[in-house]
Amino acid sequence: MEGTERENSTLPVDEYISHQRGMYESLHRKSLDNPEEFWNEHGNIVDWYSKWDRVLDDSNAPFYRWFLNGKMNVSYNALDRHVRSHRRNKAAYIWVGESGTEKIVTYHGLLKRVNAFAKALLDAGLKKGDRIAIYLPMIIEAPVAMLAAARIGVPFTLVFSGFGANSLAERIRDCGAKVIVTADGGNRAGKVIDLKKIVDEAVDQTSTVTEIIVVRNTGNPVDMVEGRDFWYDEVTKEQNAYVEPERMDSNDPLYILYTSGTTGKPKGVVHGNGGYSVWIANTLKWAFNPQEDDRWWCAADIGWVTGHSYIVFAPLILGLTSIMYEGAITYPEPDRMWDIIEKYGVNLLYTSPTAIRLLMRYGDAYPAKHDLSSLRVLGTVGEPINPAAWHWYFKTIGKSKCPIVDTYWQTETGGFIISPAIELGLGSLKPGSATFPLPGIDPVILDEQGNETPSNQKGFIAIRKPWPGMMISLNNDPERYKSVYFSKYPGKYFNGDYAMKDSDGYYWLLGRADEVMKVSGHRIGTIEIEDALVSFPEIAEAAVFSKPDEVKGEAIVAFVIPKHGVAHGRELTEKLKKGIRETMGPILIPDEIHYVHTVPKTRSGKIMRRVLKAVYTDQLPGDISTLENEASVNEIREAIETLRKEVGR
C-alpha cells in the first residue's frame, strides 16, 4: 500500500468552489475568538425546550459542560419536529436487505415505531437514567431502539453485532444494562449469525439483565426463556402509542460507546444530548452540504461511532433521507455498492478507505456497469486514505467531478473534527490530507516535550480548546478520562494520533501513536487480543502488533509463547482462531499466529511491540532510540538480535 507516499500538489475541484475559502476562514476564526456568539447562533440547529444559560462551563475542566442548563430531546429533534413539517411523509430510511428486500420508512412511520418501542421499554419498568444494551444488525429496529431510549432518557450502549459473547458481557457489566434488545439472527454474506445465542451466553456472565427483547429478522429458531425473553413484535403491539419525550438536560448522557484503548479494558465513551447533537448536525452540514432532496448513504456499521452519529442522529436531525444496508458490500457480487447507488440515486456516499481498496481490487468493470451520475460528494472515514485509493475513488467512482471529503475524527470527538467543508467553501484538496479543522477545533502538532513542531514535521496531534461534540466522560471512570486524554499535555486534549501540518496549513493524519491498531478501519487494542490469547490454557505469553496490509490498512500479527510441552502448529492455531471468534468476535482474529520462545520486553516488563513490528516488517535499522522510550537502546538491540534469530530475518 502506498500509505506513506504524499502528493504536494493541490487538486482543485472547481465546480465545488461555491463560496470563497474566506468564508471558512472567518467562521473558523470567529468560532475560536468568540465561541459564545458562535455557538449561541449554531446551537439553534436543534430545537430546545428551554435555552442554555451559558454556552460553555469550564469551571470543572476537563469535564466541560456545553449549553449549560439547556433542555432538549434528541428523538424529538430527529422525528417529531419533522413530522410537524413538510417532511412528515418524507423517507427517513430506505432500507435494503442483503437479499434485495427493500423497506421505506417515512419520518411519520419512524416516529410511530419509536413511540411503540419507547412504550415497550417503559412497560419493561425502565426509568430515566437506567441503561439498556442494543445488540442488533443493520436493521431498522436499531435506530428505532436508539431513538426510543433517547426519548425516555435511558442511555444505551449499542454493541457491534460482530463482537462475541465475552466482549458483549464486558460491556453489559460496565454499563449495568437492565434490558437487551437483539434479533433472532443477522445476515452476512449469505450466512445467518445467531445473535440470540451470543446474547444468552453473555447474559449468563452478568447479573443486571432482567429482560431480553428479540426482533424476528431471519426466522432463525431461538430459545426463549419464559418471563425473561419477549418478542419485539409482541411488546410493540400498541401501534398508536405516544410517549412524551423526556426533557433532557444538555449534559445528561445519551449513550455509551465502548472503544479500544491501550489497556485490555475498553473505554466507555459517554456522549451527552445537547452539545453532541449540535456538533454532529453542524459538522454534517458543513462538510457535505446536504440538500433537502439528497439521498445520503453512510455505509458504515451502526455499531461504530460513524453509524451512531451519521447513520442515525445527524441525518435525522437534519431531516435527510438515508440509505441503510444490511449485508456485505461485495454480496452477492462485487458491484453491490454501485448497484445500490444507481438504483436509489445516492447523492452523497460516505465509506471507509478499506471498502474503497477492496472494491478497487475487483477492477473498473464493476462500477462501469452502473450509472453513478447521481453522486455529488464522496466521503471517507476511519483511517488514512492512500493516494492510489483516493484517485480511484475520485476518478472511477466520482468521474473527477465529486470532491473527496476525508473526515478525520474519533469515537471520543463525537463528529468530524478535521475535514474539507463544502458548505463553507471548499478550497483545493490534497489526496490523503483531511485538510483543515472545522469551526470550533483548534489543533496543534506537538513534540514529546509539548513544543509545537515546525511545518512538515511529524508530531502528536492535540486540541487546545473544548468543542461541543466531545465526550463528557468515560463511564464509571472519570479518572481514566483525565489521565488518558488530558495528562500528556495538561489543558489540551491528546488523542493518540500522529499528524503533521504542511507548509500550506493542511493536516495529514499519520496513524496511531499508541498500542491501538486500525484494522479495516476498526479500532482494536493490541492488548485486548493478547489478553484473549493468554486466556487459553495452552498459551503462556502473547505479543500482538500490526503489519501493513494492502486492503485492510493493517493486519494483525500475534507472536505467542506456548506453555512448556504444548504441541503447537496448525491445530493449535485453528483452536485459537475459533476461540477468539466466539468470545471476542471475528474482527479480532489474528491474521498470522507465530510460535516463539521469547518476546522482547523492557526491564520493567513491558512488551516492546514497536520493536517486534519494526523487525517483522523490515523497517530496521533506523533510529531505534525512538522505538521504545522506556527501554535502553542496548536492551532493544539485544531484543532485536534474539528476535531476528527466532523469525529468521
Q: Which residues bind ligand PRX (CB under 6 A)?
A: 259, 304-306, 381-384, 406-411, 434, 495-497, 509, 512, 518, 523
**Please, is 158 exposed, middle or buried when counting C-beta atoms within 10 Å of its C-beta (0-12, 13-18, 19+)?**
buried
Residue closer to ligand PRX, measured from CB, 72 or 470? 470
SS3 assignment for 9-41: CCECCHHHCCCCCHHHHHHHHHHHHCHHHHHHH
**Omega before residue 353 within 30° of 0, cis:** no
Between 35-42 and 22-33, two packed helices, what is the crossing angle to 10 degrees? 110
Residue closer to ligand PRX, measured from CB, 248 or 302? 302
**What is the nearest approach in angstroms of ligand PRX to the Cβ of residue 131?**
21
List the grid coordinates of 204: 449468563
> Residue 347 has what DSSP assignment?
-
Return the CA Rg of the chain.
24
Residue closer to ligand PRX, measured from CB, 335 or 406? 406
> Residue 429 has what DSSP assignment?
B
Q: Are 10 and 428 in contact (CB under 8 A)?
A: yes
Q: Cα dist. 560→523, 543, 588, 599 in Å?
A: 22, 6, 15, 8
List the grid coordinates of 132: 439498556
**What is the nearest approach in angstroms of ligand PRX to the Cβ of residue 578?**
26
Residue closer to ligand PRX, measured from CB, 135 or 408? 408
Residue closer to ligand PRX, measured from CB, 158 or 636? 158
Q: How many CB atoms lie within 10 A of CB 129?
A: 12
Residue closer to ligand PRX, measured from CB, 218 or 277? 277
304's CB contacts (< 8 A; 6+ apart) are: 160, 411, 522
**What is the nearest approach in angstroms of ligand PRX to the Cβ of residue 433?**
9
**What is the nearest approach in angstroms of ligand PRX to the Cβ of residue 405?**
10
Q: How many CB atoms lie within 10 A of CB 585?
A: 21
**What is the nearest approach in angstroms of ligand PRX to the Cβ of residue 330?**
21
Task: Give the Cα separation of 271 and 253 in Å (integer).
Answer: 6
**What is the nearest approach in angstroms of ligand PRX to the Cβ of residue 411?**
3
**What is the nearest approach in angstroms of ligand PRX to the Cβ of residue 576?**
25
Q: Are 297 and 323 in contact (CB under 8 A)?
A: yes
> Phi and psi at residue 601, in whole multiples of 5°?
-135, 160
**What is the nearest approach in angstroms of ligand PRX to the Cβ of residue 416?**
8
Residue closer to ligand PRX, measured from CB, 75 or 407? 407
Residue closer to ligand PRX, measured from CB, 259 or 526? 259
> Phi and psi at residue 543, in whole multiples of 5°?
-135, 125
**What is the nearest approach in angstroms of ligand PRX to the Cβ of residue 599?**
25
List the grid coordinates of 94: 430506505
515's CB contacts (< 8 A; 6+ apart) are: 262, 525, 526, 527, 609
Residue closer to ligand PRX, measured from CB, 42 or 308? 308
